[in-house]
């Protein structure tokens, strides 16, 4: 995952790129501090995968489906909501003192790769710290990913 390019690259077990997806990372840039609203860098892994089998545009709050399906009407009724849609790949840092542990813990900061409304631009850093993807892209990635899979953010 390259923050400068706003591109997530899926690689096979040999390191060869097999897919590239445009993403949107943190408006506040890169950083690891709790409360920073930044996207954490370094070595991570997928700790949990949430949303298997649910329809695209499923709305999540606190990693649980709300029973809502995202729509323009729902968005208009909730203009300030930070939408987490379709699938969640919850990340956990691997580097003590950098992205794991007190004050910098990616997992405790609830940093995810997740779907977002298709009206949101990709390729621009606009998130609250997470890595946002198009819903169709996050479904495809979710189908190729597994818990424990390494994720590098640079």
The pLDDT tens digits of the residues spanning 97-147 come to 999 999 999 999 999 999 999 999 999 999 999 999 999 999 999 999 999
Domain ranges of the chain: 7-153
The whole model's pTM is what?
A: 0.96
CATH superfamily of 7-153: L,D-transpeptidase catalytic domain-like (2.40.440.10)
| Rounded Cα distance, 93 and 47, in Å | 9
Average pLDDT over residues 73-85: 96
Task: Tell me if 46 sits within 8 A of 147, measured CB to CB.
Answer: yes
Average pLDDT over residues 14-23: 96
| Contact yes or no for 120/128 (Cβ under 8 A) | no
Confidence of residue 45 (pLDDT cuts 50, 70, 90): very high
């Amino acid at each position: 995952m390259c923050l400068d390019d706003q591109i997530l690259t899926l690689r096979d077990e040999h390191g060869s790129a097999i897919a590239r997806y445009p993403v949107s990372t943190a408006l506040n840039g890169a950083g690891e501090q709790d409360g920073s609203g930044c996207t954490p860098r370094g070595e991570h892994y997928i700790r949990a995968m949430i949303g298997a089998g649910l329809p695209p545009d499923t709305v999540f709050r606190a990693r649980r489906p709300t029973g809502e399906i995202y729509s323009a009407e729902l968005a208009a009724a909730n203009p300030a909501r930070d939408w987490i849609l379709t699938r969640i790949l919850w990340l956990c840092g691997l580097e003590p003192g950098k992205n794991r542990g007190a004050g910098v813990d990616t997992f405790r900061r609830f940093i995810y790769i997740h779907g977002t409304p298709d009206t949101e631009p990709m390729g621009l850093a606009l998130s609250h710290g997470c890595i946002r993807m198009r819903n169709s892209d996050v479904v495809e990635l979710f189908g190729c990913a597994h818990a424990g899979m390494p994720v590098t953010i640079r």
